[in-house]
Structure 1
């Protein structure tokens, strides 16, 4: 009887353990869902503001170049009206002079005697010389009464003194329409907050929350503590509901978003299933009293099966990791292989195109390597390549996107995002000198030691023009120049002369 009682208690405990794991899994899945919501919100905010800021850049350039004469202002008003029509997030575009007086805006009906010198964004630009975008605290329009998010840029005189402000306003309703489309449950919440703690907008929406100082809230403290992205269970300062909050910084602007799902709603289904399930287990425990021995055997079989499945899963994961490493790594040098190089090149080319940055490539060839193999044998050639590969790996920077790879045979490559030609040439020279200083004997060269030749070039991708392979071809041309010029040197395309 005691044994049967122990079995019954174990069954109840096992059910509790499974239920707790189910609860943890439910919370984990909802944490992922909240993180995805926050990522989507951050991207939407970044895209929305970037489009508005891009329009402001053009406005500032026109004002500083064309001035504010009547003809220039009339042309500018038409441009502003056209941009507001094309960008649905824009409520309006405005330009104010150095005293805060209205000069021109995108609306057909011009406001009378409008002066915004007291607005926070105007005061900021008047007292700060920075030319970048400024996201101000939400304001209520003096002409329409709407709640707006101001995006602004400073306008300068030719001598650099303050000349006024270009302003784009985004209707908070634009954000709310997007937030209303998100499935966050009945008690969920989402928010857009400035990094200085100012609430921009929130769903559920309340005009009283717009512009509220959030610095004393648990949400703001969690964001400050965890950095640009994180999750936390927080009791809302707005309505007292405990939620799973996932927050994320907007990529290019001083804002962060928070997506919060009610903990009670997350666990509602789990509670319902658990109560019914637990009742069934208790009933089953009574039956187990009559069939204890058989149940013990079933539990042993189940435990054994679960252990085997875990071992099989662990072995499969280990095998997958090994296969993935082998698929992306050169077996001889330990550098990335051609497959990984091609994939990384495409990725970094797309990133450079998106960020309007440069991408540099160093293409390296071991001088007279065929002769080295003929003189010393292929085993020595492999050791030589291994030594060179280790040297290149040690000297290659560890930034995201930097990659040292074996391109093929005795050719190696170093990919360097956001790097200018001069910096790439400097690195190539360091690699060349380091390999020369290894003093690997090679009687087939003039130096008597193994040396390298390298071709270097950079590419600044332009939308609609050029491909990643052009960088390889260009660096290869520079390598050819280095080889034909006597080897043991670093060359760029500029060294090839006007005929390439």
Structure 2
């Protein structure tokens, strides 16, 4: 059965608020709105300033990484160009004494021309020093134990190789090695040409940049070996950082990008721009501390927050004074409103009592007539069924004659509780129609649904087992008539529903009582 909204015949519990009361509410709302608006605007402006600051820093670190990458490329390219020429000469001319003297003069000149070079060295297949850029060649020196020599000896590729940072055997200075393999005429390993780049050359260049106290710059090999880092610490040279987030997470995703993450080396959160060079196996990174970048923003935020807070306090104080004055003006009227509301509430209670049957507690005939009219109109508009159950206590006159009118009243009260419990939806209405007759109005219900409700009421009353010697069953029973239909405008009136249900009730009584019948006379 479709649920129908209950009919509300009561008035509002309170009279409309006095005209002055909304002014107080509006004043409070206005003050609160202004204060909240100022705070929200300040929060938005502050957050946008933070985003702008971070965006500018990301651009700065990106450009710094490009500059560092270009510097690393130019530095290595200069050394590698010299090595390419030496490899070609060695493979063509060999190691004759005259050629070695010319080679010596050539490499000395190249070192003088390129400020990044620490030295140039040539080693034979055994690692012995053949020629270098030093004024005098050391006799008996051997570098076969160096990483770059072992690499070229064991690998046949002819590309450039950049090794981890080492200390020079000749000067003790930290250097970066750039080397190439050269072969003999038969294609076998002939030796290594090596250019060493000064670590100080990179340091001098990186010290030109303003990166704050917690900023960092580094150049590393693709496999994650640090060649140089600012701030410079010898313990970081050659350190393996391949398991740090930059190499483990970000480089596999993009060869160049800007990310913010916590450094695994010192725990500082940095805005980090990195690039992987295309021509050489190098990764460069420029990073600025996020806390240092946002330091000025934080101080400005505190100053602005204090200013806005003071303004909000002033506005709240002025607003509270205004609201207090308004409140004093409406206080007297509020007292009158409360008195009027009490009177109206009393009237509503009296009106409610006027709509309720005093004996049974059910709705009285007046409330039933109003509800029937309203629900009938609603059913007509919605084209929905409206059902009515009319109930009469069997042989009730004999009950009064046998047990007295006081007992009869108690009997009606007991029956009315069952009838009231038979309605399960807010829109249903149980009412005392007159004397021992009661009705149940069921909006949105057809005959079948009404029959179920009526039968449940009949059985519940029978099961009360109220003694009635004047009834054939020996206990109090009821008979009920039912009708339900969909009203049609201008063809039906509410009275037709009552008449049909009453006719069905009469038929039920004529059939021996303690039964339910519908308006067409068929049994349940």
Question: Displacement, 1:193?
Answer: 0.6
Question: After the TM superposition, which residues 25-36 of structure 1 pair with which residues of structure 2 at under 5 Å, given as runs?
Answer: 25-36=52-63
In structure 1, how many angstroms separate the alpha carbons of the residues matched to 2:48 and 2:266? 30
Does the 8 Å contact 1:229/1:248 carry over to 2?
yes
Which among 295, 304, 311 is matched to residue 277 of structure 1?
A: 304
Give the corresponding residue for 1:104: 131
C-alpha distance in 2 between matches for 1:117 and 1:50: 25
Maintained 8 Å contact 1:223/1:247: no
In 2, distance between residues paired with 1:291 and 1:259?
A: 53
Asked whether the equivalents of residues 195 and 255 of structure 1 are also in contact (C-alpha less than 8 Å), the reply is yes
Aligned to 2:173: 146
Give the aligned partner of residue 294 of structure 2. 267
Give, in whole Å, the separation in 1 of the partners of 2:45 and 2:252: 33
1:240 and 2:271 aligned: no
Q: What residue in structure 1 maps to residue 118 of structure 2?
A: 91
Q: Distance in 1 between matches of 2:296 and 2:253?
A: 30
Partner of 1:226: 253
Tell whether the 8 Å contact from 1:231 to 1:246 is kept in structure 2 after alignment: yes
Shift of 1:224: 2.2
- How far apart, in 1, do the equivalents of 2:55 and 2:133 lie? 48
Pairing 1:11–2:68 present: no
* Structure 2 residue corresponding to 1:180, chosen from 190, 196, 207: 207
Query: Secondary structure of 2:294's match?
Result: helix
Q: Which residue of 1 aligns with 2:186?
A: 159
Q: Contact conserved, 1:26 with 1:266, CA < 8 A, in 2?
A: yes
- Measure the CA separation in 2 of the matches of 1:88 and 1:254: 22
Per the normalisation by structure 1, the TM-score is 0.57
CA deviation digits over 1:127-167, x for unaligned, max 9? 11111111111111111111111000111111211100000
User: After superposition, where does 1:371-386 map in structure 2 within 5 Å?
Assistant: none
Q: Which moved more, 1:88-97 or 1:179-188?
A: 179-188
Q: How far apart, CA to CA, are the structure 2 residues paired with 1:185 and 1:109?
A: 44
- Aligned twin of 1:136: 163
Pick one of 42, 50, 75 that aligns with 2:77.
50
Q: Aligned-pair distance for 1:289?
A: 4.1
Q: Secondary structure at the match of 1:201?
A: strand
* In 1: Cα distance, 2:168 partner to 2:138 partner: 12
Cα pair 1:42 1:251 within 8 Å, conserved: no
Task: Give the whole-Å Cα distance in 2 for the aligned partners of 1:255 and 1:179.
Answer: 16
Structure 2 portions without partners, runs of 5+: 1-27, 320-524
2: CA distance, partners of 1:120 / 1:224:
26
Correspondence for 2:147: 120
Cα RMSD, aligned residues only:
1.4
Deviating more after overlay: 216-225 vs 256-265: 216-225
User: What are the superposed Cα offsets for residues 238-283 of structure 1, whole Å, 9 maximum, x if unpaired?
Assistant: 3222111110112310101000101111000000100001111112
Structure 2: how far apart are the matches of 1:225 and 1:58? Answer: 35
Separation (CA, whole Å) in 2 of partners of 1:291 and 1:50 = 72
How far off its partner does 1:291 sit?
A: 8.1
Residue 290 of structure 1 and its aligned partner are, at CA, apart by 7.4
Aligned residues: 292
Q: CA deviation at 1:33?
A: 0.2
Q: Which runs of 5+ in 1 are unaligned?
A: 293-500
Aligned match of 2:464: none
Query: Alignment partner of 1:216: what SS?
Result: coil
1:327-366 correspondence runs (5 A): none
1:18–1:225 Cα change, 3 Å: farther
**DSSP-derived class of the 1:252 partner:** coil
CA distance in 2, matches of 1:89, 1:76: 20
Counterpart Cα distance in 2 of 1:111 and 1:239: 43
- With over 3 angstroms needed to count, the CA separation of the structure-2 counterparts of 1:79 and 1:72, relative to structure 1, is same
Q: Distance in 2 between matches of 1:223 and 1:95?
A: 39
Aligned to 1:286: 313
Secondary structure, counterpart of 1:129 in structure 2? coil
Query: What is the distance in 1 between the residues matched to 2:235 and 2:292?
Result: 26
- Kept in 2, the 8 Å contact 1:222–1:232? The answer is no
1:257 matches 2:284: yes
Q: Deviations over 1:369-406 (max 9, x none)?
A: xxxxxxxxxxxxxxxxxxxxxxxxxxxxxxxxxxxxxx
Give matches, 1:291-306, under 5 Å.
none
Match of 2:228 in 1: 201
1:24 maps to what in 2? Answer: 51
Q: Secondary structure at the match of 2:292?
A: helix
Residue 80 (structure 1) aligns with: 107
> Partner residue of 2:327?
none
Structure 2 Cα separation of the partners of residues 237 and 114 of structure 1: 40
Compare relative contact order (CA 8 Å, sep 6+) and give the higher one, 1 or 2: 2
State how far apart, in whole Å, the 2-side matches of 1:7 and 1:218 are.
46
Query: Structure 1 residues 57 and 248, CA, compared in 2 at 3 Å: closer, same or farther?
Result: same
Q: Secondary structure, in 3 states, of the residue corresponding to 2:243? A: coil
Q: Quote the offset at 1:185 in angstroms.
A: 1.2
CA distance in 1, matches of 2:263, 2:138: 41
